[in-house]
Chains A and B, each alone.
Chain A
């Protein structure tokens, strides 16, 4: 069953029919399994991997930053309450509890540098028990979600070979 998830993670456009052919499973079973995963939250949603650098050539100036957050943990909840609170903001794309010099690593996107830095200054830093933040603006994305943002290598094969 895991193979269905792997296939969908790579190409969410694959039809149940094609997945059934690829895996040799009955199409009804594929459909039922995918529906069950969608209901239980194993599959959260289907998205596109967007190369925003290319999109910005069309006038879009979405900015992404990684924000490292130091948090004073609290008895009973650790970091969870602060992490949940941060994750509720729609600007926040991801929140992880990490090892190392800081406690939480967040990804934040916004329309321009100003929007992101305002968000950090006014919303993130002011949350109770947030002690420090360090903001790293993304200058260029080379690879995300397993997808390399470079031009694909041309097919150098001859059209007919033995």
Chain B
């Protein structure tokens, strides 16, 4: 048989998958390995989806998505962050941020272009860069300074082939939120070297210690920035697959071009539900965010009381404690914890080499389970330390 696509064949499967297979076979597992809310989509939003089905909204929408939804998204970005995009021409609805990321990279990159990716980062960043013909260039960050992206480190990675920087804040898996000053320095660097910035802001609403900075709102950022967002996390709508891209017209237009041939449009029902989410679910969002924050405080305190060093997770719903004191590497720690105490966490190195020595724990889990998980982790540590 003729060989298949070399780039795709060379891309390893996600390291998360292996843990899923093990955990799925076991009983009585407390899973802190889930990268999605434990809330079901707010009822008013589900109800809007049901209404849409009942009334036959089962067709395509325009390629860019429902005008009502794009208007709401652009108004929300302007009002919340001071980021201004024209709903008609600078905003398109995608099937989740995953598609948005793929579109943005395909539109920005030519074969061989380098994309700087601070890590540890979301597992899809590097593969998506490769699938778009680019070459990911890792820049390490460290838990000692809250995984801040240092412009000097990014600058050191810039070459003549560097085309873009891909950044996620608040971040999966670290929960880190990049301070505004870091982002401004990054922006200055991008201007100096004529780079694009791809900003994954899917966790924008889930910040606990300060306000989120939308990269598209920074001075000078607009023309070289692609902002990605969606409804999966804050509105607990992961399975609906609905997100968006906001970018200057010359980029957005090409994103729509790829989208119209590959995806056609995001699901109609999901877009209608998303309209309801933006119009009427703000109370649900703030209640869920407040709940995450309470669990975050209890869980992080519990981990620290076990003697695990845990950087303050300022956003998303992950804690990323250091497991150095166990003397184990991330993979061994996660595997043994799962087998011996039935707690599923994700080894930090699947998110990049700087993640080794850490595990990702999602606190999107009911409080009693979190407390039980901390106890089990404590029992596990007692056997290894």
Contact = CB atoms under 8 A, between A and B. Distances in A.
B381 interface: no
Interface in B21-78: 23-24, 29, 31, 33-36, 38, 40
Report, as a range, how many residues of chain A touch the other chain. Answer: 10 to 19
Interface string A13-33: 000001001111000000000
Contacts of B290: 3
A144 to B, nearest CB: 17
A7 B298 CA distance: 14
Interface stretch (A41-49, A59-67, A153-161): A153-161
Nearest to A154: B40
Interface stretch (B12-20, B86-94, B145-153, B211-219): B12-20
A118 B20 CA distance: 61
Contacts of B38: 155, 157
A162 B124 contact: yes
B103 interface: no
Contacts of B298: 18, 21-22
Contact of A158 (B14, B24, B123, B346): B24
B16 A161 contact: yes
Contact of B16 (A21, A24, A160): A160
A159 B344 CA distance: 8
B40 A162 contact: no
B84 interface: no
Contact of A160 (B19, B122, B301): B19
B55 to A, nearest CB: 24
Contact of A159 (B34, B124, B293): B34
Contacts of A158: 20, 24, 34
A141 B39 CA distance: 24
Contacts of B33: 159-161
B297 A161 contact: no
Contacts of A3: 290
A153 B43 CA distance: 12
Given A21-B297, A22-B298, A162-B122, A157 B36 contact: yes
B325 interface: no
A55 to B, nearest CB: 23
Given A157-B34, A157-B36, A157-B38, A162 B297 contact: no
B180 interface: no
A21 B31 CA distance: 23
Contacts of B40: 153
B268 to A, nearest CB: 22
B240 to A, nearest CB: 13
A160 B33 CA distance: 5
Interface string B272-288: 00000000000000000
A161 B34 contact: yes
A160 B294 contact: no
Interface in A64-97: none
Contact of B31 (A23, A153, A159): A159
Nearest to B123: A162
Contacts of B14: 162
B69 to A, nearest CB: 25
Nearest to B239: A156
Contacts of B293: 22
A155 B31 CA distance: 11
Contacts of B35: 161-162
A21 B293 CA distance: 10
A102 B281 CA distance: 35
A24 B312 CA distance: 14
The 9 closest A-B pairs by CB, nearest first: A160-B33, A22-B294, A160-B20, A159-B23, A159-B31, A161-B35, A160-B19, A21-B297, A162-B35
23 contacts: A18-B298, A22-B294, A22-B298, A23-B294, A24-B297, A155-B38, A157-B38, A158-B20, A159-B23, A159-B24, A159-B29, A159-B344, A160-B19, A160-B20, A160-B23, A160-B31, A160-B344, A161-B16, A161-B35, A162-B16, A162-B122, A162-B123, A162-B124
Interface of B: 14, 16, 19-20, 23-24, 29, 31, 33-36, 38, 40, 122-124, 172, 290, 293-294, 297-298, 301, 344, 346
Interface of A: 3, 7, 18, 21-24, 153, 155, 157-162
Given A21-B297, A159-B344, A161-B34, 6 more contacts: A157-B38, A158-B24, A160-B34, A160-B344, A161-B16, A162-B172
